[in-house]
């Protein structure tokens, strides 16, 4: 057995003017609880440090940038890293990243993986950006990720750390089978992802009644089809008018949900994940080397 005890740290709503220090305090409380519960690793949601700002159309770049982190760790996030080091626990969380690359300012929806020595060992920038870039002002709540973020430019990475092969993706990525497969092809045994998912998409309401079902459906199938653990962590509850689903969960390589949050507030769920369980189906049903037929899959990567 290779046990990695994981804490999925669901966050309840965060207000527009709630300072990062207040969110970090909540995150630290859950980190201490996770350590007390024997966790090796704690996973927080997408854009964990602020409210989920892409719901608003904004034009003032300074206002937009106020939701982004220019350094990681920065002064407000350093306590998370210090506590990681003190407790000897790994962590992953999402944040809006502002960086200068190729001589220009860039904005990404990012998550990082931090090891038990508080070193950033993995970084992922969201590839499947949902929503729209145009102003749909007829709707009180929009979803402007395509306006505020660039498509991630780091690919889907997997990292050998904490005794296993770890992957990350972010929210809408979980709905795409290619995400898990590209991670699975790198041997991922545990995939961490955070999400901010509204119960209602005003311009596309056809499946609103199935939001929770689709949330679990895609993570469970991704876990099973690639024989990997999946840890899905929500920002949940009523946040500035957005009604976000909860349902944070830990999914086993069998596709079964083995732990699930029951509230839509700050809530920690934990599970002892045996990474060796991921090995079974990687060697049998989903032995990729033996059973995949990539010569028939060409259309998947056609533009
Ligand atoms: N954050 C995020 O990616 N949310 C999307 C909802 C998009 S609604 C246009 C999701 O896939 O859950």
| pLDDT tens over the chain, length 303 residues | 999 999 999 999 999 999 999 999 999 999 999 999 999 999 999 999 999 999 999 999 999 999 999 999 999 999 999 999 999 999 999 999 999 999 999 999 999 999 999 999 999 999 999 999 999 999 999 999 999 999 999 999 999 999 999 999 999 999 999 999 999 999 999 999 999 999 999 999 999 999 999 999 999 999 999 999 999 999 999 999 999 999 999 999 999 999 999 999 999 999 999 999 999 999 999 999 999 999 999 999 998
| Nearest alpha carbon, ligand 1 atom 4 | 197
- C-alpha span between 74 and 70 (Å, rounded): 8
Give the pLDDT score at 107.
Answer: 98
Furthest C-alpha separation in the chain: 54
Q: Does residue 111's CB lie within 6 angstroms of at least one atom of ligand 1?
A: no
The residues carrying an active-site annotation are 46, 126, 171
| Residue ranges of domains in the chain, CATH in brackets | 5-288 (3.60.110.10)
Ligand 1, closest atom to CA 131? 9
Give the pLDDT score at 51.
Answer: 98
What are the start-end ranges of the E strands in 73-125? 90-101, 104-114, 120-125
**Packing angle, helices 78-87 and 20-36, rounded to 10:** 10
Q: Does residue 215's CB lie within 6 angstroms of at least one atom of ligand 1?
A: no
Q: Does residue 201's CB lie within 6 angstroms of at least one atom of ligand 1?
A: yes
Q: Does residue 175's CB lie within 6 angstroms of at least one atom of ligand 1?
A: yes
Residue among 124, 139, 197, 247 whose CB has most ligand 1 atoms within 8 A, to mutate: 197
Q: Does residue 196's CB lie within 6 angstroms of at least one atom of ligand 1?
A: yes
Give the pLDDT score at 97.
Answer: 99
Ligand 1, closest atom to CA 201? 8
Residue among 96, 131, 169 whose CB has most ligand 1 atoms within 8 A, to mutate: 131
Give the pLDDT score at 187.
Answer: 98
- C-alpha span between 194 and 231 (Å, rounded): 8
Q: Does residue 197's CB lie within 6 angstroms of at least one atom of ligand 1?
A: yes
| Nearest alpha carbon, ligand 1 atom 6 | 197
CA of 131 to the centre of ligand 1 (A): 7
Four-residue CA torsion sign, 131, 134, 137, 138:
negative
Give the pLDDT score at 84.
Answer: 98
Q: Where are the alpha helices (DSSP H) in the chain?
A: 20-36, 61-65, 78-87, 145-148, 177-184, 211-226, 275-283, 288-291
ipTM above 0.85, yes or no: yes
Ligand 1, closest atom to CA 129? 3
Record the pTM. Answer: 0.98
CA of 240 to the centre of ligand 1 (A): 16
CA of 130 to the centre of ligand 1 (A): 6
CA of 266 to the centre of ligand 1 (A): 20
Give the pLDDT score at 291.
Answer: 98
């Amino acid at each position: 057995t290779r046990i990695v005890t994981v804490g999925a740290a669901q966050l309840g709503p965060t207000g527009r003017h709630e300072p990062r220090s207040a969110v970090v305090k909540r995150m630290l409380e859950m980190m201490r609880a996770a350590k007390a519960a024997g966790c090796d690793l704690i996973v927080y949601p997408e854009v964990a440090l602020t409210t989920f700002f892409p719901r608003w159309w904004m034009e003032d770049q300074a206002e937009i940038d106020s939701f982004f982190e220019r350094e990681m760790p920065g002064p407000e996030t350093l306590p998370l890293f210090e506590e990681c080091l003190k407790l000897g626990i790994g962590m992953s969380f999402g944040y809006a990243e502002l960086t200068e690359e190729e001589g220009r300012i860039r904005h990404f929806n990012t998550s990082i993986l931090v090891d038990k020595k508080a070193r950033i060992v993995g970084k992922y920038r969201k590839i499947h950006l949902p929503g729209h870039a145009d102003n749909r002002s007829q709707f009180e709540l929009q979803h402007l990720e395509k306006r505020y973020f660039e498509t991630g430019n780091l690919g889907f990475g997997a990292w050998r750390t904490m005794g296993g092969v770890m992957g990350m993706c972010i929210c809408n990525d979980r709905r795409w089978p290619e995400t898990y497969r590209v991670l699975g092809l790198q041997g991922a045994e545990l995939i961490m992802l955070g999400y901010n998912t509204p119960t209602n998409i005003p311009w596309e309401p056809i499946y609103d009644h199935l939001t929770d079902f689709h949330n679990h459906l895609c993570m469970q199938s991704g876990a099973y089809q690639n024989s990997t653990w999946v840890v899905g962590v929500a920002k949940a509850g009523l946040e500035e008018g957005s009604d976000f689903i909860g349902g944070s969960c830990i999914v086993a390589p069998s596709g079964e949900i083995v732990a699930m949050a029951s509230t839509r507030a700050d809530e920690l769920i934990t599970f002892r994940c045996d990474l060796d369980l991921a090995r079974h189906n990687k060697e049998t049903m989903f032995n990729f080397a033996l059973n995949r037929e990539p010569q028939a899959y060409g259309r998947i990567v056609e533009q």
